[in-house]
Structure 1
Amino acid sequence: MEPQRAPALRRLLPPLLLLLLSLPPRARAKYVRGNLSSKEDWVFLTRFCFLSDYGRLDFRFRYPEAKCCQNILLYFDDPSQWPAVYKAGDKDCLAKESVIRPENNQVINLTTQYAWSGCQVVSEEGTRYLSCSSGRSFRSVRERWWYIALSKCGGDGLQLEYEMVLTNGKSFWTRHFSADEFGILETDVTFLLIFILIFFLSCYFGYLLKGRQLLHTTYKMFMAAAGVEVLSLLFFCIYWGQYATDGIGNESVKILAKLLFSSSFLIFLLMLILLGKGFTVTRGRISHAGSVKLSVYMTLYTLTHVVLLIYEAEFFDPGQVLYTYESPAGYGLIGLQVAAYVWFCYAVLVSLRHFPEKQPFYVPFFAAYTLWFFAVPVMALIANFGIPKWAREKIVNGIQLGIHLYAHGVFLIMTRPSAANKNFPYHVRTSQIASAGVPGPGGNQSADKAFPQHVYGNVTFISDSVPNFTELFSIPPPTTSAGKQVEETAVAAAVAPRGRVVTMAEPGAASPPLPARFPKAADPGWDGPTPPYQPLVPQTAAPHTGFTEYFSMHTAGGTAPPV
């Protein structure tokens, strides 16, 4: 039985999805336009990470002449510049302007006296406006974040219609991208192609496993996680492709891609915990208490992911370069990841203690995914404190996709249906799970949870073109007692030599008569000579001819000679 999902989670997901898709898009520079009206005398507009040589700002500003004179201020990410003035409550407008270096041309006076602003007076419906159209190039020793603010110190507020295009070079792959986003589109396209290959390989392996009755629920979950990952990367590529074209993109497509990315992660995490508990490997069912714990944990994890996306969209300050995990919800996800690893360790150790013969699977499985469990928290900490902000987004994107590729690639290799694969986990057929889960006599439910220790069926992968003759002679289980079902393959694997078939007689059935050692003892009317004494020697089988050699009968009293 598959662990039941919480009904409340299914009811919550549709409204949460609609809420996320309806969130207003955040201004991310590149192409920015708006109409500002504020009583403040200093306001942040946008930010962009320019290349060291090819950065370019083209702008068009318009405001009433009565509001003259306003300034565009250009700050960069040096500690003495933007970090020193943004959200500095002890600095007024003049103090914030004082950190600007005039020799660096960091001030654009929106007046007709400043020739580089391109301003001129225009009249419209009896109102005089200052309309400014020009541009500015950016050069620095390295890629830098630049922050654009509007100021009018000592005035009566700010009013401005603005339109800005911020670019890096003229190439399709760089023009509208901030320098910290370079390579994201190419990386996503590359990983999309790789994950499409993984998904098709998983489907092919699933087809082979289904033909051998080994396509279990956990492998279906792996296929689903790979498929959702492909959809996520597809939507990311659509978003970044549109963004590269117009500098705007569709924020709803990006949010949908993030939701699918998180869904793939959650499906894969649930699959790992289930495999650690032995589901479909050493047991056919998860206990009711275990199902409840899984449902509660996955619901909590899902809600935390949703809260993280909402927090990022609504509460992240656009004036600061922040990473996804730099929030309470992000640190909560790291805590849940650590808790999941502790649960995973306990589940694997319990499974190994009861089923030590599964070590070829569980030992590399545990070692490989221990690295995966710690990769996400370590990546978050490194991104928060170890990667420069002007390069963080592209590096984190590559690392995150690499972690997902590692997880899916390792599982695909460990579950490949090959006779040379010593780590293959599934040895109980899907048709055997039902019989293994039937309650024992007296309604004992302990039989629901674990497979018999050696019910692994045919552990070798026989070519589909060669008939498996050992499966032609199976005896259906009796219908009178569910607790006495007989599994032919299990008995054959535990008792009979390889290549032989052993059938079972019903308990209590009469045994065939043994051949008499003396004819007269069997027939009192025998008049012939009595043969000399011959000891009873077990008969041997005929030489192997390539197929099943003989059939023997097991009875309650023992094994009869071959007939």
Structure 2
Amino acid sequence: MLKQTSILFTILIGFLICNVSNGMVVKEKINSNNNFVFLAKFCYSTTPGASLSYVGTAANASTSIYIYNDWATEWGVGGNSKYSCLERVTASTPQTNMNQLSANSSRVLLPEDHQRAHFWYVVAANCDSEVGEVDFTLTLLNGGGLWSAQFSYDEQGLEALYLVYFFVFLVLTGYTAFTAFKLYKANAFHPMIKILSGVIVLEFLSVFVLLCNYGSYSHNGTGGKGAQGFGELLDLAAQLLFILLLILIAKGWAISRVTIDEKRIVLGAMGVLTVLYFIMFVWIKAGENPAATTYMYDTVPGIILLVARSLAMLWFMWCGYNTYLEETHPAKRNFYTVFGIAFVAWFLILPIICIIAAAVEPWVREKTVLAFYVTTNALALIGVSFLLSPSRSGEYLASATKTSSEEYSSITTKSYDESF
């Protein structure tokens, strides 16, 4: 009951975070001594009805707003600091001087291109001195209805994606809770199943928080302040816990042996991996270039994370191979074969996603990558839940009540199966 209350409390906190909104609508007050300051990026689709409107005032009379298309002749120059300020602003699309705007006035541009989607960039610049203080509100809208208008084209469809997987993980979480309850009542709730339950709950909460964020965004153009990072952090925690579970299974815990072999090494390695993941997560968030269209694994911290995950895969393969060689039970050897092939593929999917990210156009990159990523994670968790379900794992999964190798060698699966 306490665990269920904790889960509900976490969901409530996630919901509240999602509704403390601040965020395309971009409403800010900046004060910069630079002569060229990036304000916003938005990808416009080919659907008619797109608009870019702004309201604002500038303390410096010569500070202006400049708009850029993603063409090489525009943002290719404007976004490149090797050019002079004058060269950068000259490359822009139509500009409007901010000192012509009062607090209640606005300008609207209609950036439409019926050939393909385009990223548009908004900057404040003052080549005579510095940008200074600018108080502004930008509203960037695509053509289309509720599911499209507020979203940059590269993010259109993400709300629907997370809505679908919210229900997928809701069903999976419900099944996990039911299974956990039955096993607990039968005194057969093995720690391995507890870890799997934790992974599924964390992934469900991640999807839920991100769905709240995109749902809020679709209605008012603002996302939850910190909700995106919170949802991604929950996913990161789920990934780390899942890697731990895979390593423990590959080492034969509760299948070929009762105790965890080399426990200190396992905990130490996972501790290092956790710290590394967290540092890279903070590095990516702190150093993220808001004008960039690159995927996170194109960055230095992203590449380090990819290498770390690849090393974890090699460790997983080594553990699984050694355990397979030591095992003589036919059902367990068959389990290791299926399990090993399936989850080496899961580890490899991230490099494959990176290749896909590099191959697709920037304006479809984010939604393509996230669709692959969320789908493979869902399939992986469904696969493990299937392999470790009580009706299938009776031949190879040790009961939670077994505590010695002597007991394990003569194990029957009765205590694990009777609850079903």
Flag structure 2 segments of 5+ consecutive residues without an equivalent.
1-16
Aligned-pair distance for 1:380? Answer: 2.6
Q: CA deviation at 1:172?
A: 2.2
Alignment of 1:47-126 (within 5 A): 47-52=41-46, 53-64=48-59, 67-89=60-82, 91-100=83-92, 106-110=93-97, 119=100
CA distance in 2, matches of 1:416, 1:341: 24
1:34 equivalent in alignment to 2:35: no
**C-alpha displacement of 1:37:** 3.5
Instruction: Write the distance in 1 (CA, Å) between the matches of 2:32 and 2:398.
Output: 69
Aligned to 1:164: 138
Q: How do 1:122-521 residues align onto structure 2 when only pairs under 5 Å count?
A: 132-140=105-113, 141-155=115-129, 157-169=131-143, 171-210=145-184, 214-287=188-261, 290-357=262-329, 358-383=332-357, 385-418=358-391, 421=392, 426-431=396-401, 433-436=402-405, 451-452=408-409, 455-458=410-413
Distance 1:75 1:426, change over 3 A: same
Amino acid at match of 2:403: A
Q: 1:163 to 1:424 in 2, by over 3 A?
A: same
Give the AA of the match of 2:91: V
Give the match's secondary structure for 1:284. Answer: coil
CA contact (8 A) 2:68 2:78 kept: no
The DSSP-based 3-state class of the residue aligned with 1:285 is coil
CA 1:238–1:313: 2 relative to 1, 3 Å? same
On the 8 A contact 2:205/2:231 being kept in 1, the answer is yes
Matched residue of 2:146: which SS? coil
- CA distance change for structure 1 residues 108 and 84 in 2, over 3 Å: closer, same or farther? closer
Conserved? CA contact 1:214–1:426, under 8 Å: no
SS across alignment from 1:74: strand
* Cα distance, 1:146 vs structure 2: 0.4
RMSD, matched Cα: 2.9
Cα offset, 1:360, TM superposition: 2.1
How far apart, CA to CA, are the structure 2 residues paired with 1:205 and 1:111? 62
Maintained 8 Å contact 1:235/1:253:
yes
CA deviation digits over 1:483-519, x for unaligned, max 9? xxxxxxxxxxxxxxxxxxxxxxxxxxxxxxxxxxxxx
Distance in 1, matches of 2:352 and 2:44, equals 29
Post-superposition offset of 1:300:
1.6
Given the superposition, is the C-alpha separation of residues 345 and 41 from structure 1 closer, same or farther in structure 2, using an over 3 Å criterion?
Answer: closer
Q: Deviations over 1:81-111 (max 9, x none)?
A: 213332332x2122113333xxxxx222327
Structure 2 residue identity aligned to 1:86: G
**Structure 1 163/463 Cα, relative in aligned 2: closer, same or farther at 3 Å?**
closer
Out of 273-282 and 33-42, give the one that drifted further: 33-42
- Spell out, residue by residue over 1:340-366, the C-alpha distance to the aligned partner (whole angstroms, 9 max, x if none): 111111211221222121112111111
Amino acid at match of 1:32: V
Q: Residues of 1 paired with 2:297 and 2:258: CA distance?
A: 37
**Residues 72 and 107, structure 1, Cα contact 8 Å, conserved in 2:** no
* 1:166 Cα offset (Å): 0.7
How far has the Cα of 1:395 moved from its partner? Answer: 1.4
Q: 1:296-343: per-residue Cα shift (whole Å, max 9, x none)?
A: 221122122212221222111112223222332211221121111111
CA spacing shift, 1:27–1:425, aligned 2, 3 Å? farther
Contact 1:281 1:425 in 2 (8 A): no
Q: Indicate how the Cα distance of structure 1 residues 218 and 75 shifts in structure 2: closer, same or farther if over 3 A, else same.
A: same
2:294 counterpart letter in structure 1: L
CA distance in 1, matches of 2:360, 2:394: 39
Q: Secondary structure at the match of 1:58?
A: strand
Which letter maps to 1:96? Answer: R
Quick one: percent identity of the two aligned structures? Answer: 20
Whole-angstrom distance in 2 between the partners of 1:61 and 1:130: 6
Q: 179-188 or 408-417: which moved more?
A: 408-417
Partner amino acid for 1:108?
Q
User: AA paired with 2:383?
Assistant: V
> CA distance change for structure 1 residues 62 and 351 in 2, over 3 Å: closer, same or farther?
same
Instruction: Evaluate the alpha carbon distance shift between residue 39 and residue 417 of structure 1 in structure 2; reply closer, same or farther with a 3 A threshold.
Output: closer
After the TM superposition, list the runs of 4 or more consecutive aligned residues in structure 1 that deviate by more than 4 angstroms: 25-28, 129-132, 155-159, 207-214, 458-465
**Corresponding residue for 2:10?**
none
C-alpha change, 1:300 and 1:425, in structure 2 (3 Å) is: farther
Q: Offset of 1:78 from its aligned partner?
A: 1.8
Kept in 1: contact 2:21–2:224 (CA 8 A): no
Q: Quick one: which amino acid aligns to residue 139 of structure 1?
A: E
Structure 1 Cα separation of the partners of residues 25 and 41 of structure 2? 11
* SS of aligned partner of 1:164: strand
* TM superposition score normalised by structure 1: 0.65
How far 1:147 sits from its partner (Å)?
Answer: 0.6
1:233 and 1:257 in contact (8 A); partners too:
yes
The 2-side partners of 1:167 and 1:399 are apart by: 27
Contact 1:206–1:219, Cα closer than 8 Å, also in 2? yes
Bigger drift between 250-259 and 272-281 goes to 250-259
- Listed one character per residue, the Cα deviations across residues 413-465 of structure 1 (whole Å, up to 9, x for unaligned) are 222333xx4x656343333x224379xxxxxxxxxxxx42xx23147987769
User: 1:194, 1:83 → 2: CA distance?
Assistant: 42
Structure 1 residues 33 and 213: alpha-carbon distance in aligned structure 2, compared to 1, 3 A threshold? closer
Which runs of no fewer than 5 residues in structure 1 stay unpaired?
1-21, 101-105, 113-118, 121-128, 439-450, 466-563
Query: Deviations for 1:363-386, whole angstroms, at most 9, x for unmatched residues?
Result: 111111111011122213432x22
8 Å contact 2:30–2:134 — kept in the other structure? yes
Taking structure 2 as the reference length, what is the TM-score of the superposition?
Answer: 0.86
- Check conservation: 2:42, 2:121, Cα contact below 8 A: yes
Distance 2:339 2:417 in 1: 25
SS of residue paired to 1:390: helix
